[in-house]
Amino acid sequence: MSERQTTSDDRQSANSATGSAVKRRRAPKGEMRRALLLDAATTIFARDGYAAASMRDVAEIAGITSVGLLHHFPNKVSLLQALLARRDRRVTEKFSELEMTPTLEGFVAFARMSLRFSLESREECQASMMINVESLAEHHPAWEWYLEKFELTHAHAQAHLATLQANGEIRVDVDVAGVATELFAVMDGLQIQWLRKPDEVDALAIFDGYLQRLVGSLRPQ
């Protein structure tokens, strides 16, 4: 191989390495831009709901052109799907390392942690509740996602309560499906009331009172 060929090959290798390094540096920037766009979408969905939300408003809040937004999310459905996927990741990260002990106290602690997580951000909570209600229509793009989450959370709660029943932690005549439905109804209702009057509704304190009464009604006499 000639010296000229060696130099050319070295230059090409260097350019390739530099290009790879640039790509690696750009990736975090792209992820940050997507996160910024999802934050903006959360703001708009919380304000207007999904159906009335405007991609142009999302782009404006994010400080990007509509063309730039469409580069990351080609339509509003893809934006919604990305937002729901991010919600899934956050829930997984929050609860993946939490080991729920097979006790009534462990069940109560998990329920309280779940509500606390939902109340961490008023904007995210409101966006989620707005989209949830809209998704009651079967043609809505989030219909299947919220239905799946409904079935998973209810099944999880019922299974845990059934285990507590088998272990003698709660009464054998308890309707575990009914208790799970009541629990989530209280959690959903508290979120709506807290969103309406955040300065007047202490959702966690009210939930604690409910959980104390629930525990008293579930324990064997």
Please report the pLDDT score of residue 96 as a whole number: 75
Asked whether residue 32 is assigned to any structural domain, the reply reads: yes
Tokens 């509740």 appear where?
129
Judging by beta carbons within 10 Å of its beta carbon (0-12, 13-18, 19+), is residue 66 exposed, middle or buried? middle
Per-residue burial over 196-206, b if 16 or more Cβ lie within 10 Å, else e, is eeeeebebeeb
Query: How far is the C-alpha of 182 from the C-alpha of 36, rounded, in Å?
Result: 36
Please report the pLDDT score of residue 212 as a whole number: 97
The per-residue pLDDT string of the chain (221 residues; one tens digit each, 9 = 90 and over) reads 444 444 445 445 445 444 444 444 444 777 888 999 999 999 999 999 999 999 999 999 999 999 999 999 999 999 999 999 999 999 888 887 666 678 999 999 999 999 999 999 999 999 999 999 999 999 999 999 999 999 999 999 999 999 999 999 999 999 999 999 999 999 999 999 999 999 999 999 999 999 999 999 999 98
My answer on whether 50 and 114 are in the same domain is no
Query: How far is the C-alpha of 169 from the C-alpha of 219, rounded, in Å?
Result: 6
My answer on whether 73 and 161 are in the same domain is no
Q: What is the dihedral of CA 103, 167, 160, 93, to 10 degrees?
A: 40
**The domain spanning residue 143 has which CATH number?**
1.10.357
**The domain spanning residue 19 has which CATH number?**
1.10.10.60
My answer on whether 103 and 198 are in the same domain is yes
Please report the pLDDT score of residue 21 as a whole number: 45
- Split into its structural domains, the chain has a count of 2
Asked whether residue 109 is assigned to any structural domain, the reply reads: yes
Asked whether residue 91 is assigned to any structural domain, the reply reads: no
Angle (CA) 189-192-197 rounded to 5° is 125
Please report the pLDDT score of residue 7 as a whole number: 46
Please report the pLDDT score of residue 101 as a whole number: 73
Asked whether residue 110 is assigned to any structural domain, the reply reads: yes
DSSP notation for the chain: --HHHHHHHHHHHHHHHHHHHHHHHHHHHHHHHHHHHHHHHHHHHHHHTTTT--HHHHHHHHT--HHHHHHH-SSHHHHHHHHHHHHHHHHHHHHTT----SSHHHHHHHHHHHHHHHTS-HHHHHHHHHHHHHTTSTTSTTHHHHHHHHHHHHHHHHHHHHHHHHTTSS-TT--HHHHHHHHHHHHHHHHHHHHH-TTT--HHHHHHHHHHHHHHHHS--
Asked whether residue 123 is assigned to any structural domain, the reply reads: yes
My answer on whether 16 and 123 are in the same domain is no
Tokens 């937002």 appear where?
83
State which residues form the domain around 23.
3-77
Query: How far is the C-alpha of 210 from the C-alpha of 137, rounded, in Å?
Result: 31
This prediction's pTM:
0.82
My answer on whether 151 and 120 are in the same domain is yes
Query: How far is the C-alpha of 83 from the C-alpha of 133, rounded, in Å?
Result: 16
Query: How far is the C-alpha of 166 from the C-alpha of 81, rounded, in Å?
Result: 39
Asked whether residue 89 is assigned to any structural domain, the reply reads: no
My answer on whether 203 and 116 are in the same domain is yes
Please report the pLDDT score of residue 93 as a whole number: 87
